[in-house]
Every structure is written in structure tokens, then in C-alpha cells.
């Protein structure tokens, strides 16, 4: 892929990733987020986080299935950072709008509401990934350690789905589609690794 094409595609990714944020800001400025604006912001930023995590998780399986899509790796860090961006907005909504920066109320939420506990675990799993997303961090940690650390994205995705489910009323299946997508992406990894290992194993003729 030449440099010009890469710049165009990255620009389009930036626009696509920022579009939900711009829509949210516009809705807030025009008072068009509905009767429960805080709930709308929390839902919108949480959904954006999970969608971007799913897209980020999809890159490795796609590259294994279709080697000609190896260029997608150039977008993984960008997509992961945007997932963290929306996760941070989601967290700030809880900190500022739901709890008014009340530390005691936040600690009570974390210890007594399991969906808050799961959400906090998801955010804390993403935090070190964002902090070590630079080339400098990769050099300092070393490739193997960096890869091990960045397996926390799986924890973040699982905790994020649990957070989504546990805040729903019984019988509400809204998180089901995202759950299926993320489960499929997580299961694809060991299946594709096993398939690749089987192909690489030399056959023994009888």
C-alpha cells in the first residue's frame, strides 16, 4: 500500500471514529438527546467502545484468513485508542454526571453493583494498553512482554459485555448481537491458530 492511499484511509478512519462523538456533542448542544440525556450519553459511549473493541479484535483473524489484508494492522492501534477514548468518555459520564465526583458514592457503586464492577475492570484493562501503545513502550517492554500485556484486550471485551448485560432488565436482549460478535472473534483465535499449526505440521506417510 502506498503512502497516499494509507493517508486517505487513515483520514477516513479518523472521520468515521469521530462521527459518533460529533453527533453526541451536537445532540447535547441542541438539547436533542431525549428526556434522559445522561443515560443517552452513557449508552452511546458504551456502545461505541464495544463496537470499536470488536473491530479491533477482528483485525487479527481477518489477517490470518486473508493474508492480503495484512495492511489492516496499520489501523489496529488507531482503532484501539479510539475504543479507549470512548471508554474514557463513558467513565467520565459515570464519574461526573451520575456521581458528581463523589468518591464515596463511586466506591459504593463499585463494591455493590456488579455491572459497575465489571465496567471498572474493563476500563482498567484498557488503560495500560493505551499507555503502552507507542513504539517507545514496545521497545522498553520488549515484543513478547508487550504482546502478553496487550492480551488484556480480551479481558476488557469480556468485562465490557458483562457490564452491558448486567445493567439490562430481565428479558432485554439488546446486548445479544454484540455478545455473539465478540464471542465469535475470541473463539476464532484458538481455532485459527490450531488450523495454522495443523497445516504447518509435516505429514508422515505410512
In this structure, is residue 150 part of a structural domain?
A: yes
Confidence (pLDDT) at 206: 42
Beta-carbon contacts of 56 under 8 Å, excluding residues fewer than 6 positions away, are 76, 79, 80, 83, 153
- Domain span at residue 33 reads 3-199
CB 53 within 8 A of CB 156: yes
In total, how many domains does the chain have? Answer: 1
Confidence (pLDDT) at 201: 64
State how far the Cα of 150 lies from the Cα of 155, in Å rounded to an integer. 10
- Chain center to CA of 61: 16
In this structure, is residue 61 part of a structural domain?
A: yes
pTM as predicted: 0.92
Confidence (pLDDT) at 2: 82
Confidence (pLDDT) at 198: 77
In this structure, is residue 205 part of a structural domain?
A: no
In this structure, is residue 204 part of a structural domain?
A: no
In this structure, is residue 42 part of a structural domain?
A: yes
Confidence (pLDDT) at 76: 95
In this structure, is residue 206 part of a structural domain?
A: no
| Residue stretches of the chain with pLDDT short of 50 | 204-206
In this structure, is residue 76 part of a structural domain?
A: yes
In this structure, is residue 39 part of a structural domain?
A: yes
State how far the Cα of 66 lies from the Cα of 74, in Å rounded to an integer. 15
Confidence (pLDDT) at 3: 86
Amino acid at each position: 500500500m502506498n503512502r497516499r492511499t494509507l493517508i486517505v484511509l487513515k483520514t477516513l478512519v479518523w472521520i468515521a471514529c469521530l462521527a459518533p462523538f460529533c453527533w453526541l456533542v451536537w445532540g447535547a448542544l441542541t438539547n436533542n438527546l431525549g428526556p434522559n440525556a445522561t443515560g443517552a450519553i452513557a449508552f452511546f459511549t458504551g456502545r461505541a467502545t464495544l463496537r470499536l473493541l470488536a473491530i479491533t479484535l477482528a483485525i487479527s483473524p481477518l489477517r490470518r484468513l486473508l493474508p492480503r489484508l495484512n495492511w489492516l494492522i496499520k489501523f489496529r492501534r488507531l482503532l484501539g485508542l479510539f475504543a479507549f477514548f470512548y471508554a474514557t468518555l463513558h467513565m467520565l459520564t459515570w464519574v461526573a454526571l451520575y456521581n458528581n465526583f463523589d468518591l464515596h458514592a463511586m466506591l459504593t457503586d463499585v463494591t455493590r453493583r456488579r455491572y459497575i464492577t465489571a465496567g471498572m475492570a474493563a476500563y482498567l484493562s484498557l488503560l495500560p494498553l493505551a499507555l503502552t501503545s507507542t513504539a517507545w513502550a514496545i521497545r522498553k517492554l520488549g515484543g513478547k512482554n508487550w504482546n502478553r500485556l496487550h492480551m488484556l484486550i480480551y479481558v476488557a471485551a469480556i468485562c465490557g459485555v458483562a457490564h452491558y448485560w448486567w445493567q439490562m432488565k430481565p428479558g432485554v436482549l439488546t446486548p445479544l448481537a454484540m455478545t455473539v460478535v465478540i464471542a465469535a472473534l475470541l473463539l476464532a483465535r484458538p481455532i485459527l491458530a490450531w488450523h495454522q499449526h495443523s497445516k504447518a505440521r509435516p505429514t508422515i506417510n505410512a
